[in-house]
Amino acid sequence: MNVVKFEADVQRQHARYKLPLKCVIDGYRYNCLDWSVGGIGVATGKTLLPEFKTFPIDLEFPFDGFVFTLRVDAQVRYCDPTKGRTGFQYMSLTEEQLRFLRYVRDAHLTGEVVTLDDVLDLSSRSIDPRSRKKDDSPQDQAASQTYKVAAKRSLRIALPVVLGLAVLLFLWGALYQKLWTFRADESLVTIDSAAMIAPSDGVVTNIVTQGAVKAGDPLATILPTASNRSVTVLARCDCVIQDVQVGLDSQVRAGQRLLSLSMQNAKPHIVAMVDYSQALRLYKGARVLVELPHGDKISNATIRELPKLTSTDLTSGNKIPINIDVGEANLSSIVGTPVSVRFVQSPWANASLSKMLKTVIGTTGTESHPVGETNG
């Protein structure tokens, strides 16, 4: 199965900011699109830089009146000439370099460093002598000291509690992901269809490649190799043509798939391939979460039916196909596209494994059972 990779699949560890920075790479000066403590995005135009190659980069911070240059080593993580963008990741930063980058970031966030046109400037804070307060009286100082002591005592009590709760939440989240969620090995958007096959060896002299057909309409004409009498393949239903696999004047063999037909009202669904042991877990009930390639998510997807598993499935180690309905979502435009499917179980779905095995494992047969429901 083809794997579609997106730039968003690479997780970013640092927030990115936009500042009017410049960088010099191999003697050429480029504009910086964005930067972070961990890397920088550079507008390289049509220039193609080899991925994973490390360059010495002069990172220029143009302050008002002077330019501060920081020499760093950065590795090319991706280069896209069509978008004119190249992403770099800093390599082996020294403590001083990292401290400076953090200072610029924090100063930018607090407003101490601001952008004026194409330069950076330090904002000034005015001090009004009239706004200074008189010294507090001894009574006020005592009250303030008491307040500080109480605040410190409360902080010493609250901080361990907050940290403990944070650790518990983290451990619970990790345990939940480990025990009650799992992903399908492969998932694909598909549509129910019937294959039209070649009745004999021969040459395709005519074939319909798209559109809707009615029952009895000719789909393809084949001139058999053994005779000069052509054979016509007819449509068996009022259907829509899908997945034409042969072309005009191509040589075909008997039994070869010519094209596929799907009902006009057929709705795309998802087929998820899961491991045998994971398929057993679905009989306890599971919620289905689908993530599409362009970022949209489907949270109301449901499992159609679960196949009755056999002992042969256990020994063969084959993946088990799970058909998933996607509710009102229209996936017609992405049929054949891989998607991401995650199954989420409720922690209280604790049916015993032995009982589950007796229910779902048989020695023969290919029956289907409705999936259990869960509110998890």
pTM > 0.85: no
- Model pLDDT, residue 63: 86
Q: Phi, psi (5° rounding) for residue 262?
A: -125, 150
Question: Quick check: 330 and 278 in contact, CB under 8 A?
Answer: no
Classify 259 as helix, strand or coil. Answer: strand
- Model pLDDT, residue 139: 64
Dist CA 330 CA 333 (whole Å): 8
- Model pLDDT, residue 311: 66
Name beta bridge partners: 231: 222
- Model pLDDT, residue 70: 92
Dist CA 79 CA 52 (whole Å): 10
- Model pLDDT, residue 313: 61
Which regions in the chain score pLDDT beneath 50?
A: 1-11, 125-134, 350-369, 371-376
Classify 276 as helix, strand or coil. Answer: helix
Classify 156 as helix, strand or coil. Answer: helix
pLDDT in tens, 45-85: 998 999 999 999 999 999 888 889 999 999 999 999 999 99
- Model pLDDT, residue 150: 80
pLDDT in tens, 344-366: 887 765 444 444 444 444 433 44
- Model pLDDT, residue 29: 93
Length of the chain: 376
- Model pLDDT, residue 316: 63
Residue corresponding to tokens 């979460």:
289
- Model pLDDT, residue 263: 80
Classify 237 as helix, strand or coil. Answer: coil
**Nearest-CA neighbor of 271 among 320, 200, 314?**
320
